[in-house]
Structure 1
Amino acid sequence: LRSLTEARYPPLSSDTRYSLVDIVAKECFSRDLSEEDKILLREQLNKRTVLWLLDGYDEIVQNVPSHLQRVFEQLLNTPHHIVTSRPYFNTLSRSVRVEIVGFTDENISKYVEVFFNQLLDKFSNALFEGEKVLKFLRLNPRIWGIAHIPVNLELICSIWSETDWSETTNLTMTTLYDKMTVWLCRRYLARKITPIQINDMDPYKERTPELTFLEALAFEGVTSNNIILRKELLQKVMRNIRCSSQTYSDALHTRDPSQIYSDALHIGILKSFDNGPTGTQIELDKNHYFVHLSFQEFFAARHLVQLLNSTTRDKAIQFIKTHKYDKRLQLVFIFASGLLIPSEDKQSVDTFWDTIYGDPHDLVGIRHMQLVTVFLDETQCGSEVPHRRQSISLLLNWIRFPITQNNFKLQETTAMTIKSCSKIQNLPEVQNELASFLNTAAKEQKSRIAIFIGRLNITDPHNQLLESFLLQLEYNDANIREAVCKSLENMGEKAAKRQVTDRLVVALGDQDWQLRLSASSTLGAMGEKAATSHVIDGLAVALGDQNSRVRKNACRALGAIGEKAATSHVIDRLVVALGDEDDEVRQNACSALEAMGEKAATSQVIDGLVVSLGDQHADIRSAALKSANKLLQLVPYSLQRLTDSDAREAERMQKSNVHDGIDGMSLKLFQMLSNGGNSGHGYW
């Protein structure tokens, strides 16, 4: 679809229009088709058995030439087609949608584990570093998002293994792409010069011709809405390098442009490919693309910042005015806001923010709020940022407005904007305003406010906000109290302050079973951080609650606290829970005992798990087997009874579907039960 341009398909005479046959003939065949061939092609297309692959919908939907509008609509109305598009540009109504997100969250964890496991020969603490990577990535939602892109995750892991990140406390998208670019440049230079020379220079801070070329090319690409950079665009940039003395650095004039292009290609950020029918060995005649679109956007942002710093500032201002509300270019402006902060040119920083706040304005206002919020967050909300107070005030207004108007759609939009940030929701002035809003709001609005706050990904809740939450628990309103507990649950261990956990323990004894349920779930989300004797005793009492869902949550919470909750009293109560009338309680009791560790490896516990192995529910039998297996491994001499024959017999049992996932240790448990247990011999 990106090929449907006026340059490629110039307007025909007034009574002639392009047809699907014309488009297919031009795009799919290397030679002109005869009239006879076109007739045959038309017959094939009319059979309605063609699957059309329509790539690049988002690149053309806003810029379809008027004389191609009819054929564009024909393509979208074909009976069988697949359309590719960035999600936010896909306005088509289709019965089936698939979003390609790259790695899943689980894939990321597994990839990092495998990557650092391979480095154990070089670094004894490689696995620990892998855990730090995952923790670090999750600090910033936008960075966690780009980590789902395989090429980005590989670069991040590679950089981490060779970089000291101990002093990097605030990782933004901009600093991450800075580091990735430096790493790629150093790797490229290592093939050309000695390591000593590399250490004595900064290949990135200097405005090298190669990077300047990549910036110019990236900017031309995003300006013309091209991900695939055709040779014509590449040649245009090369011509500009030869002619311009304003836009590009002087270093470009001292070297042959073709050599600059060659060096830029070898850095690894720009790739070439040839999709022609005959192929070509001439790199400059091939199409190009950045290794990922986000790199193109990053380098385009670098070019924009250079324009702001140069005599061509007016060009940058016009670009910002024209495109600041274009979602397609949002990441370019986010990068630009981050790149400008360390800049010593205060005028450029002021110009950028003044232009963002200047005309033209978003008529509704919410799009403008979204922009300045993410821009401010990318700057880490520093006090030196222009329009900082105005940006925060605008955000707070857009928090209050949809809640007071009970507009769920606007609430969701505002919450998603804040959730994508890492810093702004943790600012004292923002949290204090949220606390004040919650305290002074009408009763019917309080639950909506609490739910809204719970969506914001707050990682550093301040005391004033927590105290406001606890105050709402005094209301005799189930919706308010449940919403507050849910928000605290979303904050997890970060909200595990003493005054909070103590109040939640009180809630465990409330007459309202829904509050008891919410309180137990919230304490479970806080995990080990909530491991006080007061909390543990309260959860132990909750194991005897008259409501089965509360008992289930109490088991889960004790399991989340783990070994710190492994008192004899708690273990005794969990053993009793193994015989609970509710199957979910029994299953979670098994899992909780497993989490208790060595202190739970007693004959009393194993006896209880033995009984659970005969439970009528398969999930409970599986949980009991897994728990007993884990506890047996904590008894050293029991491991000596495991033999290779056990493993072979386990494999035979698994093939016979006796129990999925059974292993040698689990089989030994069965043997101990059937032999030692029945004959009166103990193993403890």
Structure 2
Amino acid sequence: MVTSRPWATGMFLEHYKHRLLQHIEIMGFTTQQISEYIKSALPQGEAKDLESYVKNRPPIRGCMYIPLNSAIVVTVYQDRQASGCPLPTTLTELYTALAQILLVRYLRGHPELEKGSQCIGIFKDLLVPCRVQTNFAELCKLAYKGIVGESNQVQLIFKESELPADFDNLGFMDSVTELYVTRGTVSSHNFLHLTFQEFFAAVHISTMSPADQLVHFQKHEDGRLNVVLRFLAGITKLSCFSSEGASITSQCFTGGHYSHECDIAVNSQLVNWMFETQSKNVSALLNVKHGTGPLTIKFKGGMSMLPMDYYSLGYCIAHSECQWVLDMCELHTLDREMIEILVNGAELRSDTCGRVVGFIG
């Protein structure tokens, strides 16, 4: 049996087409089941509040078909209700909040690690006590090694011998011990979920130089890095491009300039990166300087556009000073519902913002 993320399905089917007898997809929660789960986990008033919130936040709602992610959203909601902090709006904010919650819980169970220890901000909203900073860095490095290793496959399981000496997973990994007649006991370790591993891999990359971060963004076509780069965009705010004096479109997306049709071309992946930054000036991310006049952006979505992609697109349009042209030849999933989601992403800004000036195709 081979399991994979959706992006790798085609590769496995092609490579093992004579050996794979069945292709099975776990569908996860339906919309109704997500609602039922929220109602079973929270009091009536809070359940209604959370349902209303996620309904208007496709990036959060879109990940909840995975039962674990539904549990994560509920956990973060409960924590934010208690602390009075705002709810997350992006995938990066969601996993940052959860990482902080789990880290605090772990430290409460290990007071010797927490007592009298100052915290260091790894990045905004993620604080790690000095006493566990080394362990946390090793955890992130291990996650990175598993995602971006020498092989073309993601490493999910780590042997005891692959872990650093005196390694403490800080509660972010599971450990399994098996007994063999010939080898005795053998321990293996894995992250609580692949998305955790991808998040910590992104944290590790964020500690690298801007030039090295840029190298990783340039590998955006590698499916293994799809979620990692989304997290990295949210963590670093895509700052490596400005630090290196690089254009995000020319560096990452070849053929990104259309001299006759438009000034800049973007796709759903880039739009999601920009959404994760929560920048109020998308034009600056695209290296469009204020006062240069209206520029036209051509958006090419692709056949697999999801609700969260349309929401991100709406956000980017509203927070730019550019004209946008949507390529209808590729927006196969654009219907009335998706248009409403796109408008919701725009949040009806009252000040000067970007606008859709046409459709082609």
Is 1:371 the equivalent of 2:297?
no
Distance 1:198 1:107 in 2: 44
The structure 1 residue matched to 2:216, chosen from 299, 319, 337, is: 319
Alignment of 1:521-536 (within 5 A): none
Which one of the candidate residues 19, 22, 25 is aligned to 1:82?
Answer: 22
Contact 2:203 2:232 in 1 (8 A): yes
Residues of 1 paired with 2:247 and 2:319: CA distance? 28
Deviation at 1:171, TM superposition (A): 1.8
Partner of 1:189: 107
User: Could you give the per-residue CA deviations for residues 293-341 of structure 1, whole angstroms, max 9, x where no partner exists?
Assistant: 1111111110010013xxxx554443333x2222331211111111113
More helix by share: 1
1:228 alignment partner in structure 2:
156
Report the CA distance shift for 1:167/1:427 in structure 2 as closer, same or farther (over 3 A).
farther
Aligned-pair CA distance for 1:352: 7.4
The count of residues paired between Structure 1 and Structure 2 equals 323
Q: Who is 1:424 aligned against?
A: 315
Is 2:136 the counterpart of 1:211?
yes
d(CA) in 1 for partners of 2:98, 2:182: 32
Q: Structure 2 unaligned runs (5+)?
A: 258-263, 356-361
Q: Which has the larger radius of gyration?
A: 1
Secondary structure of the structure 2 residue equivalent to 1:187: helix
Seen in structure 2, the aligned counterparts of structure 1 residues 334 and 196 have a Cα distance that, compared at 3 Å, is: closer
Name the counterpart of 2:299: 398
Q: How many percent identity over aligned positions? A: 17
Matched, 1:161 2:78: yes
Write out aligned runs for 1:507-586 (5 A): none
Partner residue of 1:109 out of 23, 31, 35:
35
CA contact (8 A) 2:62 2:308 kept: no
**Shift of residue 370, structure 1, vs aligned partner:** 2.4
Say if 1:354 and 1:274 are closer, same or farther in 2 by CA, change over 3 A: farther
Following superposition, the deviation at residue 420 of structure 1 comes to 4.9
Aligned position for 1:270: 173
Pick one of 200, 216, 224 that aligns with 1:328: 224
Contact 1:143/1:172 (<8 A) preserved: yes
2: CA distance, partners of 1:101 / 1:199: 44
Provide the C-alpha distance between the structure 2 equivalents of 1:63 and 1:411, rounded to a whole number of angstroms.
Answer: 22
Distance of aligned partners of 1:414 and 1:338 in 2 relative to their CA distance in 1, 3 Å threshold: same
Distance in 1 of aligned mates of 2:88 and 2:176:
37
Q: Does 1:301 align with 2:202?
A: yes
Superposition pairs for residues 244-643 of structure 1, below 5 Å? Answer: 257-258=165-166, 261=167, 263-264=168-169, 267-273=170-176, 278=181, 285-308=186-209, 314-321=211-218, 323-341=219-237, 348=240, 350-351=242-243, 354=246, 356-359=248-251, 361-363=253-255, 369-383=267-281, 386-388=284-286, 390=288, 396-398=297-299, 418-421=309-312, 424=315, 427=318, 433=323, 455-456=338-339, 457=341, 458-459=343-344, 460-461=347-348
Cα–Cα, structure 1 residues 367 and 220, in superposed 2: closer, same or farther, change >3 Å?
farther
SS of alignment partner, residue 168 of structure 1: coil
Alpha-carbon spacing, 1:138–1:279, altered in 2? closer, same or farther (3 Å): farther
Cα distance in 1, alignment partners of residues 39 and 116 from structure 2: 30
Q: What SS does structure 2 have at the residue aligned with 1:286?
A: strand
| Cα distance, 1:192 vs structure 2 | 1.6
On the 8 A contact 1:381/1:424 being kept in 2, the answer is no
The alpha-carbon deviation at position 128 of structure 1 amounts to 1.3
Shift of 1:112: 1.4
